[in-house]
Structure 1
């Protein structure tokens, strides 16, 4: 009886081994397709990958859309380094793929003709452990506000992928500041409210819109001006059924422009600094070939490109670099002496090290022709001055600031001023904006009626918006 059981077990194992070998041999053709996809991916030739897809696949996704998606994905992940067969399932074959900046599960399914019916990437989940021991901070923990800040920030700063954070709360002229973590994981140095510099990312858009508002208040530009009025004559009219894209549409994200232009991912893109190659020629080249399809002013659709175009228009109109405009029009009047785009030697020493989503170091971002969308760097103290100016009833920029707060678009999901998102909670209205670059996150929000504001700057790519919203709500 025992011998018979052993024989049956041996036969079963042999059968499973043969079937596993047969299944592995059945993936040989797919392995070859995957190799072709990898080669074309690394050469930035998405059209060659698209040529491997089936008629069914191509009906679901046009070639232009596919190419944009693949180029954007390449810009984020970098080159395809290696791949290993993982498993076969009802959706096809899965491969574990290692990219320069990511690990992904690549799923592929072929039809009977050997064409790709399904192709998909999914990031391999990364478990980031919490830090061992309590991260230092200067919160005195003396009253209810201190405790509220501690309760909101502590879970964030203890995450393994974060590094440092500074936060300021303003209420009726009183300012509370808090600092947690470090300017760099290699040193034990709390971020300093006066000197430590962070990238503020898309909060830059509120500066860009404020410069526009200044020009409008002075009577030198109009929000209703078509953007073609300020662009090279070679660019065709940008309009839909006779309705032009205006300066206001750029400032409130109702231009219909995409979040990022398709040609930003053409050629080799440095994932660590993905926009530095996008010079004005590229920006104008996209406009030359762009055909608007969404009626301007009717749909909110967040666009980094639109903000970049606005910044470029202001440079052309005012005959100065975007940095010069920010410094002379906003920073100097408000006394923001540690805010800039470029960093001198002193500022470079005070610039916090940024960290990406997985807690690895990142390079600073240079946004070339898209500076108006997110290139400013600043300190907590300077951003406090900026927030205070937003809530002031007078001051050198008061009229322009007031104009930037007026609703220019009211939608179900989002209402907008010029650059500012407008939100309502009960009877209260507050304005806000978040920011993010490769290694930084930021938030500013304020309620002018209640004279309350919050500013958060972090040198890690872990969102801080929920912390800021929590205090405003």
Structure 2
């Protein structure tokens, strides 16, 4: 994942997705809601001009909710994107997983200082990995050193390049399968000595939730977050390969370059992402989730403070990583908290001010172009 600003599951495999989609820019749909977001609307339109098929965004502040879309949700029919689109949120899943683990800590059912081996004895071992030296906190803030399974070259060829993807897109991988890939490599560093984004950390975090509760991690997210907040568009799909309606198609180049044919990658088995990036949501739900989280509705003050205790990300001076929560300092000095994420054909971003009063979430239905930071700058810093 590229955590400089946008953390994407695709980027973790070293698949270079940075150039623009060839073809003319597509017109933006009218904005819906309150005014005062001209800079944001223009930033959304600019993403389409850069090559993204389509964008959907919803913001919420003291004046209410506001939505805008640009481009198309279907390259074949030219149907526009909808403000109500549901989409795969990729690594935004990590904030949900971290929230559940912190709730379990608040209930006294586990401690962030517990070792991984306490909950998953013998699971993190081999080639220098040692679960006895890694704490749950290290998993959540990516200081564990555990190898990132999506960075495995064979995994990348199998699931992110064209030939492998179309052969394996519906594979039923288990968490044990994914963990075995990580354990076949040496750690990135000794636990607690550095920082590196690893999807394996949240694979393990979800497994710990299941061990501590005796229930699927998705059921815990549903009962503890989705239902209490009435997040009607949000789900942990498990092995379901489709995205519920309303939704747009999702597109990828499925190549190491951002040129060449564009493929529809909407249907896939998201089990390859598991607790690191499996979930589906929409922009309004993500605004509601992050606002509730930052307002203290989901965690007691101590756990929220722990979640917001950050470490510096090397090479990204304005970005720090907490426990499944990213702190970004924008050019105007505003701090926003949230996460970004990507999975095949879908790049998403969500950010909220520290008081939870101003939120924005957006999705691009292409994974090879578009910097969502420009939209955050426009929303929180623009006039």
TM bin, normalised by shorter chain, reads 0.7 to 0.9
**1:440 aligned residue:** 346
From the two aligned structures, give the one with the greater helix fraction: 1
Q: 1:153 aligns with which of 40, 44, 52?
A: 44
**1:271 aligned residue:** 165
**1:351 aligned residue:** 247
User: What is the CA–CA distance in structure 1 between the aligned matches of 2:181 and 2:211, rounded to whole Å?
Assistant: 18
1:339 aligned counterpart, secondary structure: coil
User: What is the CA–CA distance in structure 1 between the aligned matches of 2:222 and 2:356, rounded to whole Å?
Assistant: 29
Question: Matches of residues 192-203 of structure 1 in structure 2 within 5 Å?
Answer: 192-194=82-84, 196-203=85-92
Q: Deviations over 1:38-61 (max 9, x none)?
A: xxxxxxxxxxxxxxxxxxxxxxxx
Q: Which runs of 5+ in 1 are unaligned?
A: 1-71, 77-121
User: What is the CA–CA distance in structure 2 between the aligned matches of 1:376 and 1:199, rounded to whole Å?
Assistant: 6
Q: Deviations over 1:374-410 (max 9, x none)?
A: 11011122112113213325x3545587245421434
Q: 1:321 aligns with which of 191, 201, 216?
A: 216
1:271 aligned counterpart, secondary structure: helix
**1:164 aligned residue:** 54
**1:376 aligned residue:** 279
Would the alpha carbon gap of residues 464 and 389 (structure 1) be closer, same or farther in structure 2, given more than 3 Å must change? farther
Would the alpha carbon gap of residues 174 and 305 (structure 1) be closer, same or farther in structure 2, given more than 3 Å must change? same
Q: 1:135 aligns with which of 9, 27, 34?
A: 27
**Contact 2:89–2:278 under 8 Å retained in 1:** yes
Q: Which runs of 5+ in 2 are unaligned?
A: 1-12, 254-258
**Contact 1:240–1:294 under 8 Å retained in 2:** no
Q: Which has the larger radius of gyration?
A: 1
**Contact 1:164–1:460 under 8 Å retained in 2:** yes
**Contact 2:124–2:131 under 8 Å retained in 1:** no
**Contact 1:214–1:400 under 8 Å retained in 2:** no
**1:52 aligned residue:** none
Question: Matches of residues 220-299 of structure 1 in structure 2 within 5 Å?
Answer: 220-233=109-122, 236=125, 244-260=133-149, 265=154, 269=159, 270-272=164-166, 276-286=171-181, 291-292=186-187, 294-299=189-194
2:200 aligned counterpart, secondary structure: helix
2:251 aligned counterpart, secondary structure: coil
User: What is the CA–CA distance in structure 1 between the aligned matches of 2:366 and 2:206, rounded to whole Å?
Assistant: 26
1:285 aligned counterpart, secondary structure: helix
Does 2:66 correspond to 1:176? yes
**Contact 1:210–1:400 under 8 Å retained in 2:** no
Does 2:305 correspond to 1:415? no
User: What is the CA–CA distance in structure 1 between the aligned matches of 2:212 and 2:202, rounded to whole Å?
Assistant: 15
Would the alpha carbon gap of residues 355 and 240 (structure 1) be closer, same or farther in structure 2, given more than 3 Å must change? closer
**What is the CA-CA distance between 1:250 and the residue it aligns to?**
1.0
RCO greater where, 1 or 2, for CA within 8 Å and sep 6 or more? 2
Would the alpha carbon gap of residues 437 and 431 (structure 1) be closer, same or farther in structure 2, given more than 3 Å must change? same
2:204 aligned counterpart, secondary structure: helix
**Contact 1:322–1:371 under 8 Å retained in 2:** no
Q: Deviations over 1:341-387 (max 9, x none)?
A: 32989963423210114543114343426411111011122112113
2:165 aligned counterpart, secondary structure: coil
TM-score (norm 2): 0.77
Would the alpha carbon gap of residues 434 and 275 (structure 1) be closer, same or farther in structure 2, given more than 3 Å must change? farther
User: What is the CA–CA distance in structure 1 between the aligned matches of 2:121 and 2:20, rounded to whole Å?
Assistant: 50
User: What is the CA–CA distance in structure 2 between the aligned matches of 1:386 and 1:243, rounded to whole Å?
Assistant: 33
RMSD (CA atoms): 3.6
